[in-house]
Amino acid sequence: MFVGCDKDPDPVSTVVNVTYPAITLNGSQFVHLAVGEPYTDQGAILTDDITGAQSAISPKESDLDITTPGMYKVVYEAANANGFKTTATRTILVLNYTPPAGLDPNFDISGQYERTATGAVINVVKMDNGLYIIDRVGGSTEVPVYMLTPDTATIDVPAQTSYDAFPVDCINETFIPGPPYSFSYRVSAENFGTGVRTFVHL
């Protein structure tokens, strides 16, 4: 005797495109505060790439300590209708700063720079006369630091703490006014090696 068994129906598969929503910060991505200066975050806007819906969102986390000089982050995270998440970060520099008295306020070396050895692109953002933030001090890893231009021929990246109290110091800094502007330094920090890193303005 033969017994027939019904086969299980073919499984139904669903293809889900992996896409991510967009987070747009209200206000600047980079903020400079004096030590002790109050801070109120301006929030961000989430745009769901699946539905097109927009909504206001607040930070998911922040390590900001306005009483201690350093670099801090305010992090936003949100998901689209398919559950895929994206993040965005606002960088906040807490630092008492006085611009150099003799530095021309029109002197500005901000912009995008390319690391000559790897092609990695970093952003240099002007916060005040003679004060800048470099978003990726090594060229690729997101470790922001502040940089000073005490005059039009010099840069200085002092010893400081970046995200998560990570200690960073840059040594042997050089600056070439150009055009194009270029600068170089050695990053004195864990896992950064000892090579000179050179960046040229794009």
User: Above 80 in pLDDT, residue 76?
Assistant: yes
Q: Which residue has the higher pLDDT, 171 or 6?
A: 171
pLDDT score for 166 = 95
d(CA 174, CA 38): 35
14 within some domain: no
What is the count of structural domains for the chain?
A: 2
Domain residue limits at 70? 22-94
Whether the pLDDT of residue 11 is over 60: the answer is: no
Where among 94, 126, 154 does a domain terminate? Answer: 94
pLDDT band at 26 (very low <50, low <70, confident <90, very high): very high
Residue 13: its pLDDT value, please? 57
pLDDT at 6: 53
Q: Which residue has the higher pLDDT, 20 or 159?
A: 159
Q: Among 69, 94, 119, identify where a domain stops.
A: 94
pLDDT score of 3 more than 90? no
Q: Is residue 9 part of a domain?
A: no
> Any residues with CB less than 8 A from the CB of 32 and at least 6 apart, and which?
92, 93, 95, 97, 127, 128, 131, 133
Evaluate whether residue 80 is within a structural domain: yes
pLDDT in tens, 33-51: 999 999 999 999 999 888 8
- For 93, other C-beta atoms within 10 Å of its C-beta total 23
Task: Dump pLDDT digits (tens) for 125-165.
Answer: 999 999 999 999 999 989 999 999 999 999 999 999 999 99
- Residue 20 confidence (pLDDT) above 60: yes
